[in-house]
Structure 1
Amino acid sequence: MTKMFRAGLACLFAFSGHMALAQDCAHSKWGAEDQLGSANLVTPERTMAALKLVKQGKSVPLGIVIDATTPAFPPRSLNLQVVQPNQQGGQKLTQFGYPGNYNDDILQTWVGIGSQIDGLGHLGEAGYYYNCNDEKEISAITGLTKLGVHDIPPLVGRAVILDMAKHAGKTYLEAGEHFGEAEVKAAAEAQGVTIGEGDIVLFHTGWTENMLEAEPTAWVSGEPGINVSGSRYLASLGVMAVGADTWGIEPVPPAPGDGAFYGHVVLLKENGIYILETMNTGPVLRDGVNEFMFVLGQARIRGTVQMIINPVALY
């Protein structure tokens, strides 16, 4: 094989590879080097506008309390140990200048448990993640080399809750029940909610409040949620994040014709929109509020794909 022939083949393969990439992936509207996706929508102007929604001075956690018994997408688990270093047998720490004692904790956990944010490196398709990032290049076992959750700036903005259970006339939606563009539009109109660019959109299905403690195995085995058409609709509006009071936001089993968790691909990979799972939406709705200021500053562990979170609703 001549050097020229080998060079020609190399050029052909390289060209074919770029063609395949072009067909499978489109670069972000924020540029080919962007790693932040919809976090680019956090602006001083939007933050100041969201501040105007704080009228009562009330803050409500959107995260749930989790522990070793909290069901999670398998094989995820959590284990917490509280220890008293160098205090065996009741020893006191005299080096403090007084008979001191303290507790420390050791946490062994997957960070995709309970209330969590899915970063842009979580779910992809055909080997690619958001903004054409190749799994072979970013998915190191020691942490993502791009798209890590540690790089996400504080997510601050206007958030809205759509009560899909109320819209269906139910206390909670059943596993596998799904809603799409038409249902989202109808619920928003009925509940006086508008959705704009840079908003955080949360769905209340009643699933976690009614099923997590009562039937934890059933809770994590299925869920209601937004279907692919609904995800594409929200993406077309330019939202910053989509979340729900469910552990995965999409219906399980999936809607007919939808791939399992394909809404993750639409939101994360195709549009750079963050996903917020197991959001505690019920208390906010019971306060008669469906529009508020959303504030999230996640733990910044380098290279993480997801992170346990506790966003705050301010109104």
Structure 2
Amino acid sequence: MPLLLALLGGNANAANAANAAPENGGKLAQKVGASPWGPKDEIGRLNLMTPASRAAIMARVSGAKAYDLAVEYFIGMPSWQAAGDPPYQMWMTHTPHGNLVADSMQVGEAMNRHVSYTGSAISMYAHMGTHIDALNHFGLDDKIWNGFSAAEHLGDRGWNVTGAEKLPPIIARGVLLDVATAKGVDMLPDSYRVTRKDLRETLDKQGTRLEQGDVVLIRTGRMRNYEKAQAYMANPPGMSLDAAKFLIEDGGAMVVGADNLSFETFPSEVADNYLPLHTYLLAQQGAPIIELVNLEALSRDRVYQFAFVGASLKLRGADAAPIRPVALPIK
């Protein structure tokens, strides 16, 4: 039974608690992780990022190309609505013709004909498009990462700890694990659960290795369906709990991500937890999750190692925020 590794003494792979790992359909003894970076820590494994680590990866950037790993936001885009969350909406608040009629700035017809004014507004669920989950997104037994309780820290305006505004800009070594290509397919089958074995085989085929503090991104190929929301969302492939444990406990990953909607797949492999990877990564290990990452160009060009640079919106108290990640190939 693998140990739940809880990053003691600055070592991201030292264990401080034993959590029994389930067989399929089994149960998992679960409790939130205590941060080795102290009782006030709100960013978890992002503490693995240091001035030296940032400088080291940026010194290797070739400058030849930059890959945009974000998706576009548009009406009808894939979004999680099963729990009643709102879809993406955009509407015009000002248009050139509308200003001729309404003269909202009270500058007169001649000025409105001369100066065109366009304005818009959006409404969306925080977990839409390319986004990063903050550590308060999922918890266990009324507590989130580092033992912060909802009763004490969650108010009408969001969390007063671990909010999305606390996430620092991420500059780290990035690694693509192109599982679909390693298996010789464009896209993993519906509901395929990526295993530890799959990840090891992918690393071997790519000639890649994981290092502590990496941002590890998994390609399932699902992004090929992004423009077709129903096809993208229906029975997506995702990670197994054992694969997630491999990334954190063996690979030393700081942040994990994938090109699917929810990182994991369904139905849950744990009888008493409907989202075991989210609770394991966020609440137990303090590892942020980046979802809906566009990895198609990296896969096409076989770019498996790069400098990952990304900063999310500073949404105070929020449990997630949009992020615009960039991959810069390294020498």
Shared fold, TM over 0.5: yes
1:276 positional shift: 0.5
Which residue does 2:258 correspond to in 1? 244
Which residue does 1:223 correspond to in 2? 236
Aligned-pair Cα RMSD in Å: 2.3
> Do the aligned partners of residues 108 and 114 (structure 1) sit closer, same or farther apart at CA in structure 2, a change above 3 Å counting?
same
- Counterparts of 2:273 and 2:302, CA distance in 1: 35
Which residue does 1:61 correspond to in 2? 68
Which residue does 1:39 correspond to in 2? 46
1:90 positional shift: 7.1
1:272 positional shift: 0.7
Q: Secondary structure at the match of 1:201?
A: strand
Query: Contact 2:67–2:326 at 8 Å: present in 1 too?
Result: yes
- Counterparts of 2:46 and 2:227, CA distance in 1: 33
- Counterparts of 1:179 and 1:115, CA distance in 2: 21
1:132 positional shift: 0.8
Structure 1 stretch 277-286 or stretch 167-176: which is displaced more? 167-176
- Counterparts of 2:145 and 2:305, CA distance in 1: 29
Q: Secondary structure at the match of 1:87?
A: helix
Is 1:181 aligned with 2:157?
no
> Do the aligned partners of residues 102 and 267 (structure 1) sit closer, same or farther apart at CA in structure 2, a change above 3 Å counting?
same
Which residue does 1:276 correspond to in 2? 290
Find 1:285's aligned residue among 281, 287, 299.
299
* CA deviation map 1:224-274 (0-9, x unaligned): 111101111212133111001101111223447694321111111111111
- Counterparts of 1:222 and 1:73, CA distance in 2: 13
* CA deviation map 1:266-314 (0-9, x unaligned): 1111111110001000101212211111111111121111112221111
Give the structure-1-normalised TM-score: 0.85
1:118 positional shift: 0.5
- Counterparts of 1:301 and 1:192, CA distance in 2: 38
Give the structure-2-normalised TM-score: 0.81
Alignment of 1:92-171 (within 5 A): 94=107, 99-171=114-186
* CA deviation map 1:171-209 (0-9, x unaligned): 111221112222212211221111111100001110121
Q: Secondary structure at the match of 1:266?
A: helix
- Counterparts of 2:89 and 2:220, CA distance in 1: 29
Instruction: Considering fraction of residues, name the structure with more helix.
Output: 1
Structure 1 stretch 268-277 or stretch 302-311: which is displaced more? 302-311
Structure 1 stretch 232-241 or stretch 28-37: which is displaced more? 232-241
Query: Contact 2:193–2:238 at 8 Å: present in 1 too?
Result: yes
Which residue does 1:5 correspond to in 2? none
- Counterparts of 2:212 and 2:79, CA distance in 1: 32
1:78 positional shift: 1.4
Matched positions, count: 290
Is 1:80 aligned with 2:90?
yes
User: Residue 218 of structure 2 aligns to which amino acid in structure 1?
Assistant: F
- Structure 2: gaps (5+ residues): 1-29
User: Residue 148 of structure 1 aligns to which amino acid in structure 2?
Assistant: G
- Counterparts of 1:203 and 1:26, CA distance in 2: 24
Query: Contact 2:223–2:295 at 8 Å: present in 1 too?
Result: no
Structure 1 stretch 216-225 or stretch 235-244: which is displaced more? 216-225
Q: Secondary structure at the match of 1:24?
A: coil
Please identify the structure whose Cα radius of gyration is greater.
1
> Do the aligned partners of residues 170 and 259 (structure 1) sit closer, same or farther apart at CA in structure 2, a change above 3 Å counting?
farther
Is 1:213 aligned with 2:230?
no
- Counterparts of 1:37 and 1:50, CA distance in 2: 21
- Structure 1: gaps (5+ residues): 1-22
Identity of aligned residues (%): 27
- Counterparts of 2:33 and 2:286, CA distance in 1: 11
- Counterparts of 1:53 and 1:258, CA distance in 2: 45
Is 1:196 aligned with 2:196?
no
User: Residue 55 of structure 2 aligns to which amino acid in structure 1?
Assistant: M
1:128 positional shift: 1.2
Which residue does 1:16 correspond to in 2? none
Query: Contact 1:221–1:252 at 8 Å: present in 2 too?
Result: no
- Counterparts of 2:43 and 2:32, CA distance in 1: 17
Structure 1 stretch 46-55 or stretch 159-168: which is displaced more? 46-55
